[in-house]
Amino acid sequence: MDLSPNITFIICTYNRAAYLDDTLRSLMQQSVKNVVIELLVVNNNSTDHTDEVVDKYRQQTDSNAFRISYFVEPEQGLSFARNRGIREASSENVVFVDDDIRADQHFIENWINFFENYPNYNAAGGKILVQFDDHKPKWASHYLLSLFGHHNLGKKIREYPGNKYPFGGNMGFRKSIFQEAGLFDPDLGRKGDQLTANEEKDLFNRIKSLGEPILYLPNSLLYHRIGPERATKDYIRKQAEGMGKSVAKQTEGSLKLKLNHVFKEIFKTAVSLGLFLIYLIGITPAKGIMLLKFRYWILKGYASATNKTE
């Protein structure tokens, strides 16, 4: 059997050793036949016991099924870590998963199926369902679940429409696409505790601009765990402000892009006001209030970043 990996799963991690432990376990418990799976962990300057977790699973690997590769990326930032994973991957097929997930029992099998049976597609995304470790907050409406990584376009395999794209916690590529589209933008994405974003959307927009279709894979399913520290209003505020700052970076120097963003925000705010009224009538005002706060926080982040560049 060819001992080179058929597929590489890249896990970028920052101070989540306990979650990483569960992530690696859920992947290594899967049944794989006649393939070699590389689990590539990129430690982005963690200060916890991430090293020990990776070493534990390294000792458990079966050389004929799973391999674990481990790298430390000194440049702080998720985009730096992801780009390091792409460069270090031993396989030409790579899938990114978050460090706080639990994979469905057929997760790896379904990603292998994509790379083997859909040669005309160079990028794809899988389904992500959210699991709260504690309880779902009362203010967390369906419209905010995407902030927790929820991504569900239905039960059928299909191409992503123009305004949709995969989420970073479950996305796969043939490495050749990065030669044309480029890598993740290091100026975007999370950096340590700074919750900036939009690096995935930026990359997929570049891929789509090349005329490349992107496939949605409902059976490549994983569960994104949300700890109690992330199910707070303060965390959502930081996340929303980070999103606003990322948009300011992307629209910098382009009046057209800025105006486009303004019109989009006006529309989204109007929709949020409508939803607020619906939740108010339905006696669940907390959900509606949170939607309005979310839009305000995005605007606040955008304004603060814009003022710094002027």
Q: Is 154 helix (H, G, I), strand (E, B) or coil?
A: coil
Helix/strand/coil percentages in the chain, nearest 5: 45, 20, 35
* Cβ 126 vs Cβ 223: under 8 Å: no
- Integer Cα distance of 273 and 227 in angstroms: 29
Burial class (CB in 10 A: 0-12, 13-18, 19+), 70: middle
- Between 303 and 310, residue with greater pLDDT: 303
Rg (CA), the chain: 20
Please give the span between the terminal C-alpha atoms of the chain, in angstroms, as a whole number: 59
Q: Is the pLDDT of residue 33 over 60?
A: yes
- Between 217 and 240, residue with greater pLDDT: 217
Q: Is the pLDDT of residue 159 over 70?
A: yes
8-state DSSP, 120: T
Half-sphere exposure of 62 (CA within 13 A, CB side): 13
Q: Does domain 7-226 have CATH number 3.90.550.10?
A: yes
pLDDT of residue 1: 42
Ranges of each domain in the chain: 7-226, 233-309
- Integer Cα distance of 99 and 309 in angstroms: 33
pLDDT of residue 18: 93
Which range in 154-163, 236-245, 261-270 is most confidently predicted, on average pLDDT? 154-163
Residue (of 200, 201, 123, 126) closest to 163 by Cα position: 201
Determine the average pLDDT of the residues in 290-296. Answer: 92
pLDDT of residue 20: 96
Strand-pair partners of 72 = 43
Q: Is the pLDDT of residue 148 over 70?
A: yes
Q: DSSP secondary structure string, 85-110?
A: HHHH-SSSEEEEE-SSEEE-TTHHHH
* Model pLDDT for residues 104-123, shown as the tens digit of each residue: 999 999 999 999 999 999 99
Determine the average pLDDT of the residues in 229-248. Answer: 88
What is the identity of the amino acid at 208?
Answer: K
Q: Is 200 helix (H, G, I), strand (E, B) or coil?
A: helix
